[in-house]
Structure 1
Amino acid sequence: MLGHLGLKSYAGLCVVRFLLGISEAPVSAACITYIGNWYTKDEQPFRFLCFASGQGGLYILFSLVAYGVAHAGGSLLHWKYIYLILAFVSLILGTMFYFMMPALPQNAKFLTPEERVIAAKRVAGNMTGIKTIQWQNYQVWHAIKDPKTYLLCLYMFFSMIPNGGLTNFNTLVLKSFNFDSYTTLLVNIPWSVFSAGQMWVWAATGLYFKNQRVAGLIIPMVIAIIGMAIVYGTENSEGVNKWGRVFAYWMINSCSAAFPFIMNLTGQLVSGHTKQSFTNAVVLISFAVGNIVGPFCFNASDAPRYSKGLATIMGTFAACIIIGCMLGGVIFYENKTRNKKHGDPSKDENLKLEGIINGLQDKTDLENPHFRFVY
C-alpha cells in the first residue's frame, strides 16, 4: 500500500499492483484453513460470511472517507491519502492478528489443556484431514479426477467475470445515469450494501437452517440477473425513473454474496491436506483469471452505456446458476450412493468414528467411504 505513495510512472504502478496482488492472494485460502482449524462444518459458513462481508463493509466506510478526502486540502494528491490510511490500518490489524491469534487450538494460550483437547476433537468430526506438511502426489490425481473440482473452478471463473468487470467499471456505468464524480462515490455505497448486507442475512438464516450453501450459489445470482435485466431492458426507454434503474443496478452486486459460499464449499467438499491445497490453488487461479477477463467485457466503443458488457455478464450469471445446480446434483447423488453402499454415518456412531479416524490419517474424500458432502 505504502508503495503507491512514491509512484512516478505507469510501469511503477504495474509493479506495485503486482506485488499487492501477490500479498493479497493467500488471504481467502488462509481464512478457509484457519476457520476449518477452529470450527465444525455447521459453524463455518456463519464465520466465513462474517469475514467476507468485511470487504463490502470496508468499501462503504472508505467511500465516505474518499468523499471527505476529495474535499480536503493537503500537499499530497487526494488518492494518496486513501492509500496512506489503508496502509496503516492494514499494518496495525495484521500485526495484532499475528501476535494475538493462535494458528491452532493446541497453540491457544487462552485455553486450558483440557479445552485445547476438546477444541481439537470438535473439528476432527469434519473429516477434512489433519494439519501436515507431507505432500501426497496421489491426492493431486484424486483432485484432477473429481468432477467437483471442475465445477468449483467453473463457478469461480464465471462468478468473477462480473466482479472483474463491474468492480472496475461500476463508477463509469453509474456516470451513464448522469451523476457527477463526487455524487457517484455516495450513490455507489448501496452497491456494497447489497453484497455485505445480504451476507449478513445469509449468516442470520444459517443459524436456523442447515445446508444452504448450494442455495447461496444460486439465489444471489437470480437477484443479480433481475437487476441486470431491468438495467439492460430500460437502457433507451423514455420516462423511466432514474433511481429505479440505480436500485436495479445495486441489485446486480448480489452476485458478490455467492463468493463466501463457493470458498466455503471448496474447503468443505474436499478431504486430504494435499488434495485440499491443490483444489484451493486451482480455484483461486480461476478467481484470478475471471477477474482478468472481466474488464475486457467493457469496450471503449460501447461507452457510455456498455450494453454488450452488461449482456455478457448476464450470461455469466446464468452460467453460475446452471453450474450451482449441477454441483448440488453431484453432491446429492454422491451422498445418496455412499449411504446406500456404506451406510449413513449420521445415524451410526461407529461409521462416524471410522470416518473421523480416516480423516485424521489424511485420507481424501475418495478414500474415506464415510465422508459426506455438505450442501
Structure 2
Amino acid sequence: MEKDPKVDYPTVEKDIALGETHDIGANLFLEAEQLSAEELETEGAKVLRILDWRIMPILYVTYVIQFLDKLSLNYASAYSLIPDLGLEGQRYSWVAAIFNFGYLFWALPANLLIQRLPIAKYMGGMLLIWSILVIAHIGAKNYAGILVLRFLLGMAEAGVSPCMMNLTSMFYKRSEQPLRMAIWLSANGMATMVGALLGFGLGHSHNTSLHSWQLIFLTIGLMNFVTACVFLWLMPDSPSSARFLSHRQRVIAVQRVAENMIGVKTREIKPRQALENLYDVKVLCCAGIGIGCGVINGGVSNFASALIKGFGFNGIYATLLQLPTGAFEALIVPICGTVATYVKDSRCIVLAVVSLIPFAGLLGIRFTDLDHRWTLVGCTWLQYIVGAPVIVCWNILATNVAGHTKRAVANGLWFTLYAAGNVAGANIFFAREAPRYYSALAGLLICYAGIIVLSVVAYVSMRWENARRDAVDTATCEGDVTSQAILDGFKDMTDMESKHFRYAL
C-alpha cells in the first residue's frame, strides 16, 4: 500500500542515522517507515485503545492511593494525633511543612534520576519506600519522631508526579495528553472522598489497641504497599518495553508519540540544556505558577479540617464534610482536560479561567458572615479545584519543553518551587486568626491573581514565537516542518534549538 504522497516522511538515508541518537525509541521509529500512512492510522487507533485500558487504570489507581497518603495527616489531625504527639500550636504547622522540605530537597535529583533510570522501576521503588514510611507513622511517639518521618516521606514522594507526567508523554500524543493527565489527577478527588469515608469510619473504631489516627496511617500504608507491588509488575518503562504490545504495536506506539517532537527518552545528561531554562519565558512563568499552586495546596490540604471546624462543626464531621471536595475535583479537573484536549490552543486560557472559581470562593470565605456556615463550607470546597490549574500547568511543561535534560530540570524546578510554596502555605494559617485566617486568605488570593497573570504571559510569549517561526519558514521556503521537528526531537534538541518546533498553547 502506498504512503500518502502529500506527507514528507523522513527516511533513514536523508534524515537520521542510528548512530546519531541515543533515544530509546529511535530504532522503532525507523521501523515505522515500512508502514503506510493508512496502516499507521488504523492500527494506531487500536494501540491507543490498548494503552487506555492498560496504562490509564494503573496511573489512576496509583494516584488515588498516593494522594490518600498526602491527606492522611489532615484526616489524622481531626482525632487525637495533635495531643498524643504534643503538636499543639505551630508544631502541627511544622509537621505539615517538613514534608515539603523533604520534597524540596529531593525534587531536582528525583527528576534527573527519572531521566537516567528505568522510569517505572524507579517510581515503583519510591512507592514501596513511601508505603513503609506511612506505616511507620503508627510508631511515632513524639514531635521529633513525626518530623523525621514526614521529611523522609517528602523525599520519597518527590518523584511520583514527575514520573506520571513523563509516562503520559511517553505513551500519548501531545493532543491526547491534557485529558489523560486530567483523568489521573482527578484521582485526587476520588482519594479525598475515599479518605473522608475512611477517616470517618476509622474514627468510630474504639475496640483496638491503636488510636484512630494510627489506624488511618496503617490502613493507607498497607493499601499503598499493595499498589506499589502491582505497579512494579504491570507498568512498562517505555513503549519499546511494553509486554502487552506486540513488536509491531510497539513500533506504532513510538511512531504515534514521535509527533510530540521530543523523542521518547534519552539518558544522557546535557548541562547546557539545563541552563536554557533560566531564560525561557514559558518555563519561568510555569515556575511562578508552581509557587502559587504550592502555597494554595499547602494551606488547603493541611488546614481544611481546621477551617471547617472553625465554622462550627466537630472533629468527625469536619472530616466527613470534606467528602464533597473530592466530587468537585473529580468533576472539574477532567472537564478542564477535555476542553484543553478538544479546543485548540486553549491550555493557557483554561488555566486562567479555572483559577477564577476558587478565587471567588476565597472572597466568599473572607466576606461571608459566620452565621452562614454552609455557605462558608461551600466556598471551602471550591479550594480543592487547585488540581485543575496544577494539571494544566504540568501539561504546558510536558508538551512545550523539548530536550530531555532541559525537561527534567524544568520539571525539577517546578516541583522544587511547588514544595517551597507548600512550606509557605502551611505556615500562613495563624492559630490566633481562626476561624477567618485573614493573612492566609490574602496570601491565597494573591497567588491566584499571579497564576492568572502568568498564564496570560506564557500564552502571549508562545503565540508570538510560533508566529515568528512560521514567518521565517515561509520566507525560507522550508519543507515539511513537522517531519523536521520530529527528527530534531529524536536528536534530543531543545525547543529553542529546534526552529521547527511549535508550541501548544
- TM-score band by shorter chain is over 0.9
Query: Contact 2:290/2:417 (CA < 8 Å) preserved in 1?
Result: yes
From 263, 268, 287, the equivalent of 1:134 is: 268
Identify the residue that residue 257 of structure 2 maps to in structure 1: 123
Counterpart CA distance in 1 for 2:363 and 2:424 is: 22
From 23, 39, 55, the equivalent of 2:188 is: 55
Identify the residue that residue 496 of structure 2 maps to in structure 1: 366
Residue-by-residue CA offset, 1:312-367 (whole Å, 9 max, x unaligned):
211111111111111111111111111111249xxx87221111111110000011
Residue-by-residue CA offset, 1:15-64 (whole Å, 9 max, x unaligned):
11111111111011111111111110011111111111112211211111
The residue matched to 1:297 in structure 2 has which SS? coil
Identity of aligned residues (%): 30
Identify the residue that residue 243 of structure 2 maps to in structure 1: 109
Q: What amino acid is aligned across from residue 487 of structure 2 in structure 1?
A: I
TM-score, normalisation: structure 2:
0.71
Query: Contact 1:129/1:363 (CA < 8 Å) preserved in 2?
Result: no
Q: Does 1:203 align with 2:333?
A: no
191-200 or 323-332, which deviates more: 191-200
Residue-by-residue CA offset, 1:101-131 (whole Å, 9 max, x unaligned):
1111111122111111111111111012341
Identify the residue that residue 140 of structure 2 maps to in structure 1: 7
Query: Contact 2:187/2:330 (CA < 8 Å) preserved in 1?
Result: yes
Query: How far off is 1:216 after superposition?
Result: 2.9
- The 1:343–1:141 alpha-carbon spacing in structure 2 relative to 1, beyond 3 Å, is farther
Q: What amino acid is aligned across from residue 371 of structure 1 in structure 2?
A: F
Identify the residue that residue 227 of structure 2 maps to in structure 1: 93
Query: How far off is 1:203 after superposition?
Result: 3.4
Counterpart CA distance in 2 for 1:136 and 1:251 is: 42
Residue-by-residue CA offset, 1:45-90 (whole Å, 9 max, x unaligned):
1111111111221121111111011011211111111111111111
TM-score, normalisation: structure 1:
0.94
294-303 or 60-69, which deviates more: 294-303
Counterpart CA distance in 2 for 1:65 and 1:292 is: 26
Identify the residue that residue 228 of structure 1 maps to in structure 2: 362
Counterpart CA distance in 1 for 2:341 and 2:498 is: 29
Identify the residue that residue 352 of structure 1 maps to in structure 2: 482
Q: Does 1:318 align with 2:449?
A: yes
Q: Does 1:36 align with 2:166?
A: no
Q: What amino acid is aligned across from residue 13 of structure 1 in structure 2?
A: I
From 294, 302, 315, the equivalent of 1:181 is: 315
Query: Contact 1:151/1:323 (CA < 8 Å) preserved in 2?
Result: yes
Query: How far off is 1:242 after superposition?
Result: 2.6
Identify the residue that residue 403 of structure 2 maps to in structure 1: 272
Q: Where in structure 2 are the equivalents of 1:212-291 lying within 5 Å?
A: 212-235=346-369, 241-291=372-422
- The 1:241–1:235 alpha-carbon spacing in structure 2 relative to 1, beyond 3 Å, is closer
Counterpart CA distance in 1 for 2:446 and 2:469 is: 35
**What RMSD, in angstroms, separates the aligned Cα atoms of the two structures?**
1.8
User: 5+ residue gaps in structure 2?
Assistant: 1-133
From 71, 78, 82, the equivalent of 2:212 is: 78
The residue matched to 2:426 in structure 1 has which SS? helix
Q: What amino acid is aligned across from residue 300 of structure 1 in structure 2?
A: A
Query: Contact 1:127/1:371 (CA < 8 Å) preserved in 2?
Result: yes
Query: Contact 1:130/1:272 (CA < 8 Å) preserved in 2?
Result: no
Counterpart CA distance in 2 for 1:302 and 1:173 is: 11
The alignment of Structure 1 onto Structure 2 pairs a total of residues equal to 370
User: 5+ residue gaps in structure 1?
Assistant: none
